[in-house]
Amino acid sequence: MNRLPALLLALVLGACATTSKKSNLEALKPTVERFHQALRWKDFRSASHILVPERRKDFQKARLALNDDKDLSITDYEIEDVKLSDDGHRATVQSRIQWMRLPSASERTAVVTSEFVFRDGAWLLESQDDGPFEGELPSPSTSPEQPPSP
């Protein structure tokens, strides 16, 4: 009889964890879609608000320096895969992105891996490994502020 309350508590806590993880995943997809749409429509200010705060200013400066409001065109994107961490606070999103950046007239395609983190109740983009912003949003392990792992 003493095990019954413990079992019920474990079931309730497990259900809460599953619900929390599911609700985090449900909030992620619209965030990823908003980010891609903002890029497609060259709304870099809105896109920067989806980035972690420490990367926003540099992202906006790079858009101005590269004249992306005129020279960059995101022609298509498709979310291919989403993986959520066990704790539900990190996600890896793979998207196929097609873009052109003048003066090149060639369209480029890349499968971009984006790392999102759940902070203060919102999903924020932390890093990307390829695509039109390659090298601008490095993963935390390769950023200049932190030494690389041995």
pLDDT digits (tens, 9 = 90+) for 11-32: 444 444 444 555 577 889 999 9
**pLDDT greater than 50 at residue 146:** no
Residue 148 lies in a domain: no
14 located within any domain:
yes
Distance of CA 132 to the CA centre of its chain: 14
Return the amino acid letter for 63.
R
Residue 141's pLDDT band (cuts 50, 70, 90): low
* pLDDT value for 16: 46
pLDDT, average across residues 43-50? 96
Asked if residue 71 belongs to a domain, the reply is yes
Asked, for residue 149, whether it belongs to a domain, the answer is: no
Task: Flag whether 99 is in a domain.
Answer: yes
pLDDT of amino acid 7: 46
CATH number assigned to the domain comprising residue 126? 3.10.450.50
What's the pLDDT at 65? Answer: 94
Whole-Å CA distances, 148 to 67, 107, 117, 143, 145? 31, 33, 20, 8, 9
Q: 2: pLDDT confidence band, cut at 50, 70 and 90?
A: low
39 part of a folded domain: yes
Residue bearing the bigger pLDDT, 137 or 86: 86
Cite the DSSP H helix spans in 1-150.
Answer: 3-40, 44-48, 53-65, 68-71
Predicted local confidence at residue 138, as pLDDT: 77
pLDDT of residue 144: 46
Query: Are 116 and 126 a contacting pair, CB within 8 Å?
Result: yes
Residue 61 belongs to a domain? yes
Distance CA(66)–CA(116), nearest Å, equals 25
Q: Domain residues for 14?
A: 3-142
Per-residue model confidence (pLDDT) at position 27 = 83
Sign of CA dihedral 116, 23, 39, 99: positive
Q: Is residue 103 part of a domain?
A: yes
- Provide the number of structural domains found in the chain: 1
